[in-house]
Structure 1
Amino acid sequence: MLQENLVTQVYFTVWGLTSVFSSLYVISLVAAASKLKELVATISVKI
Protein backbone atom coordinates (compact mmCIF):
# COMPACT_ATOMS: atom_id res chain seq x y z
CA MET A 1 0.00 0.00 0.00
CA LEU A 2 2.83 2.38 0.92
CA GLN A 3 4.61 1.58 -2.37
CA GLU A 4 1.50 2.48 -4.36
CA ASN A 5 1.16 5.75 -2.45
CA LEU A 6 4.78 6.64 -3.19
CA VAL A 7 4.32 5.94 -6.90
CA THR A 8 1.24 8.17 -6.94
CA GLN A 9 3.15 10.97 -5.18
CA VAL A 10 6.06 10.72 -7.61
CA TYR A 11 3.64 10.71 -10.55
CA PHE A 12 1.84 13.83 -9.35
CA THR A 13 5.13 15.61 -8.59
CA VAL A 14 6.46 14.87 -12.08
CA TRP A 15 3.14 15.89 -13.63
CA GLY A 16 3.11 19.15 -11.65
CA LEU A 17 6.70 20.00 -12.60
CA THR A 18 6.01 19.19 -16.24
CA SER A 19 2.95 21.45 -16.35
CA VAL A 20 4.84 24.28 -14.62
CA PHE A 21 7.78 23.98 -17.02
CA SER A 22 5.55 23.79 -20.09
CA SER A 23 3.63 26.90 -19.06
CA LEU A 24 6.92 28.73 -18.39
CA TYR A 25 8.13 27.62 -21.82
CA VAL A 26 4.95 28.92 -23.48
CA ILE A 27 5.23 32.23 -21.61
CA SER A 28 8.85 32.66 -22.70
CA LEU A 29 7.93 31.81 -26.30
CA VAL A 30 5.19 34.44 -26.26
CA ALA A 31 7.56 37.00 -24.71
CA ALA A 32 10.24 36.21 -27.31
CA ALA A 33 7.68 36.54 -30.12
CA SER A 34 6.53 39.95 -28.92
CA LYS A 35 10.16 41.10 -28.52
CA LEU A 36 10.86 39.90 -32.05
CA LYS A 37 7.85 41.84 -33.35
CA GLU A 38 9.10 44.98 -31.62
CA LEU A 39 12.56 44.46 -33.09
CA VAL A 40 11.16 43.95 -36.60
CA ALA A 41 8.99 47.06 -36.23
CA THR A 42 11.99 49.11 -35.09
CA ILE A 43 14.12 47.87 -37.98
CA SER A 44 11.31 48.54 -40.48
CA VAL A 45 10.99 52.11 -39.23
CA LYS A 46 14.75 52.69 -39.56
CA ILE A 47 14.92 51.38 -43.14
Structure 2
Amino acid sequence: MNQYNSSIPKFIVSVFLIVTGFFSSTIKAQELKLMIKINEAVFY
Protein backbone atom coordinates (compact mmCIF):
# COMPACT_ATOMS: atom_id res chain seq x y z
CA MET A 1 0.00 0.00 0.00
CA ASN A 2 2.81 2.39 0.86
CA GLN A 3 4.61 1.62 -2.41
CA TYR A 4 1.38 2.28 -4.31
CA ASN A 5 0.92 5.65 -2.60
CA SER A 6 4.50 6.74 -3.34
CA SER A 7 4.29 5.77 -7.02
CA ILE A 8 1.35 8.10 -7.76
CA PRO A 9 3.18 11.41 -7.00
CA LYS A 10 6.19 10.25 -9.03
CA PHE A 11 3.88 9.53 -11.98
CA ILE A 12 2.19 12.95 -11.63
CA VAL A 13 5.56 14.70 -11.41
CA SER A 14 6.91 12.89 -14.48
CA VAL A 15 3.79 13.73 -16.52
CA PHE A 16 3.96 17.34 -15.32
CA LEU A 17 7.62 17.61 -16.36
CA ILE A 18 6.89 16.11 -19.79
CA VAL A 19 3.96 18.49 -20.35
CA THR A 20 5.89 21.57 -19.21
CA GLY A 21 8.87 20.56 -21.35
CA PHE A 22 6.60 20.12 -24.37
CA PHE A 23 4.91 23.51 -23.85
CA SER A 24 8.23 25.30 -23.29
CA SER A 25 9.67 23.77 -26.48
CA THR A 26 6.61 24.81 -28.52
CA ILE A 27 6.76 28.33 -27.05
CA LYS A 28 10.46 28.57 -27.94
CA ALA A 29 9.68 27.43 -31.49
CA GLN A 30 6.98 30.12 -31.81
CA GLU A 31 9.40 32.76 -30.45
CA LEU A 32 12.01 31.61 -32.97
CA LYS A 33 9.52 31.96 -35.85
CA LEU A 34 8.57 35.42 -34.57
CA MET A 35 12.24 36.47 -34.39
CA ILE A 36 12.79 35.21 -37.96
CA LYS A 37 9.77 37.23 -39.17
CA ILE A 38 11.09 40.35 -37.39
CA ASN A 39 14.55 39.86 -38.94
CA GLU A 40 13.01 39.45 -42.41
CA ALA A 41 10.95 42.62 -41.90
CA VAL A 42 14.05 44.56 -40.81
CA PHE A 43 16.43 43.34 -43.52
CA TYR A 44 14.04 43.25 -46.50
TM-score calculated relative to the size of structure 2: 0.74
The structure whose Rg is larger is: 1
Match of 2:4 in 1: 11
**Unpaired runs of 5+ in structure 2?**
none
Letter in 2 for 1:34: I
Aligned-pair identity in percent equals 20
**CA positional deviation for 1:14:** 1.1
Count residues with an aligned counterpart: 40
TM-score calculated relative to the size of structure 1: 0.71
Residue from 28, 38, 43 that aligns with 1:45: 38
Deviations 1:18-40 (A, max 9, x none): 00110111111111111110001
* 1:35 alignment partner, SS class: helix
Greater than 3 Å deviation, 4+ residue runs:
none
**CA positional deviation for 1:45:** 2.1
